[in-house]
Amino acid sequence: MYWISRFTFCIILCLSFASCSNHNEIKSIHVIAEANPIDIQVVRLKDTSQLERYLITKDLVNIHSLDTSIRVSLLYSTSQNFLKKPVYQGLENCYLPCEVAIKLCNAQTYLKEQFPLYNIIVFDAVRPLSIQQQMWDELQMPAIQKINYLAHPGSVSLHNYGAAIDVGIIGIDNVLLDMGTPFDYFGELSQPKMELQFYKEGKLSKQALSNRLLLRQVMLKAGFTMISTEWWHFNSTNKTIAAQKYELIK
């Protein structure tokens, strides 16, 4: 069986929660054949990157140790981002706290129950605070606008705890589903709070809106919450709880 139920996930979480404090002890929950590469540039390394080694010391989990069908294309490890340069030092794997990783696996399960050939793709997961500072400093935008798309380093982002994740959906033939804008589009068209208005005005297609609603449906069912300014961003919890449960990744 290619998916695993929420009940089984809970059992595995309870039995192996101690293993979440040791990434290397976590075993694959299920094995799925590796999918074909998608048409997105991804940095490939022969050896573990320095950033990856650091994340492992923080007891974060590589999502592929739980579900190999979830796609990962960390765009901040490429030049395909708003800074137009790599900032993740060659990181290619998605790292999250164990509990957050399990939620993402559940979202993948819910997606595949409806569309077996679809897969969640991760664009960004845990983000060190130092990189959050770099992003804030280098984004050329007035602060009053910048805050809509990027948390101020002084207030800390949920990404800095690994408690937020940026995702999309890969459809049939390894094609990204149309969401109306690319990931990290800094404009109103990317904002869920505006999407019904844009749909009525013909600025957002029916298919793009449907794809956003599908992504939102499976992520919310898995226990994530959405935000009003980015269709791709989902939170696992709030900052108060994240600070209590997870380590701040600096």
What pLDDT was estimated at residue 20? 52
Distance (Å, rounded) from C-alpha 105 to C-alpha 101?
Answer: 6
Query: Residue 69 domain-assigned?
Result: yes
Domain count, the chain: 1
Residue 78 included in any domain? yes
Does some domain include residue 250? no
**Rounded CA gap, 63 and 73, in Å?**
12
In order of 32, 204, 224, the CA distances from 165 in angstroms are: 22, 23, 9
Residue 90 pLDDT > 90? no
Q: Which of 110-124, 140-154, 201-215, 220-234 has the lowest mean pLDDT?
A: 140-154
**pLDDT, mean over the chain:** 83
Mean pLDDT of all residues in 67-71: 96
The tokens describing 49, both together, are 């990157």
Q: Please indicate, yes or no, if residue 127 is contained in any of the structural domains.
A: yes
- Indicate the pLDDT class of residue 17, thresholds 50, 70 and 90: very low
Torsions phi, psi for 204 (to 5 deg): -125, 120
Residue spans of beta strands (DSSP E) within 41-179: 61-62, 71-72, 95-96, 119-124, 164-170
Residues in the chain: 250
CATH number at residue 145: 3.30.1380.10
205 found inside a domain:
yes
**Rounded Cα distance, 235 and 225, in Å:** 5
Sheet holding 225-226: strands in order across?
71-72, 119-124, 164-170, 233-235, 225-226
Closest CA to 101 of 118, 126, 77: 126
Record the tokens describing residue 182, joined without a space: 């690319």
Closest Cα to residue 92, out of 108, 76, 81? 76
Q: Which domain holds residue 227?
A: 6-245
What three-state secondary structure class fits 145? helix
Q: Is residue 143 part of a domain?
A: yes
Distance CA 94, CA 200 (A): 36
Can you give the pTM of this predicted structure?
Answer: 0.81
Residue 66, domain member (yes or no): yes
User: How far apart are alpha carbons 52 and 74 in whole angstroms?
Assistant: 12
Helix (H) or strand (E) holding 225: strand 225-226
**Span 231-245, average pLDDT:** 97
Q: Which long-range contacts (CB under 8 A, 24 or more apart) does 48-52 make?
A: 49/88, 49/89, 49/90, 49/91, 49/92, 50/89, 50/90, 51/88, 51/89, 51/90, 51/91, 51/128, 52/90, 52/91, 52/92, 52/93, 52/95
